[in-house]
Chains A and B, each alone.
Chain A
Amino acid sequence: DTEVTQTPKHLVMGMTNKKSLKCEQHMGHRAMYWYKQKAKKPPELMFVYSYEKLSINESVPSRFSPECPNSSLLNLHLHALQPEDSALYLCASSQGRQGNRANYGYTFGSGTRLTVV
């Protein structure tokens, strides 16, 4: 299995809703990432989990809350979002060790297209 699976593919939510994005990989990768991508822009890093611990938070607002229940799963909990949070949210995974990460790169999921109304 060489895929990163993200669900749902599309999500429309109101500003008072609570929802979650899910990401799963079975490649044995020990680093997992959340990215946000606005139209016509490159992905922007939000969070990094390394060996199931949060290692990087790129100053993301607290209305986004990541969770890594185990080495295969990554969630992003959403609450009280704003319309400007509408974007494509991408999950990625990579080898845990720095050297292997550089050798093999990251594997990305197909993303969740989020619309906040």
Chain B
Amino acid sequence: GNSVTQMEGPVTLSEEAFLTINCTYTATGYPSLFWYVQYPGEGLQLLLKATKADDKGSNKGFEATYRKETTSFHLEKGSVQVSDSAVYFCALIPSAAGNKLTFGGGTRVLVKP
């Protein structure tokens, strides 16, 4: 079946530090990959996406590259702010018919001033 594995949190870091959240996936074919962010008390927002191998998604200083050879889609940001404190979900939609959005377990990030 399809699955997404993320590093467990919480990840605590200082403002302006470098952030990496690891994400690996298992899926048949060529899934589309997504990062969603959930700020405290809110719903999910699409942060970035990539639909084919070697695509790089980017938004708000965050980046992730679709690596088919390692089945990974790690999220990175070079300099985090306190406002980046949130839960980040890696997710995929398989290319096969009947595709559904499959989430990883989520990684909580806490940025301290």
Contacts and interface: CB of A to CB of B under 8 A. Distances in A.
Interface of A: 6, 40-43, 45, 48, 56, 88, 90, 92, 98, 101-111, 113
- Interface of A, secondary structure class, is mixed
28 contacts: A6-B43, A40-B108, A43-B44, A45-B100, A48-B100, A90-B44, A98-B98, A101-B93, A101-B99, A102-B31, A102-B32, A102-B94, A103-B32, A103-B51, A104-B49, A105-B32, A105-B49, A105-B91, A105-B93, A106-B46, A108-B36, A108-B43, A108-B44, A109-B43, A110-B42, A110-B43, A111-B42, A111-B43
A43 B103 contact: yes
B101 interface: yes
Nearest to B30: A102
Interface of B: 31-32, 34, 36, 41-46, 49, 51, 89, 91, 93-95, 97-101, 103-106, 108
A107 to B, nearest CB: 7
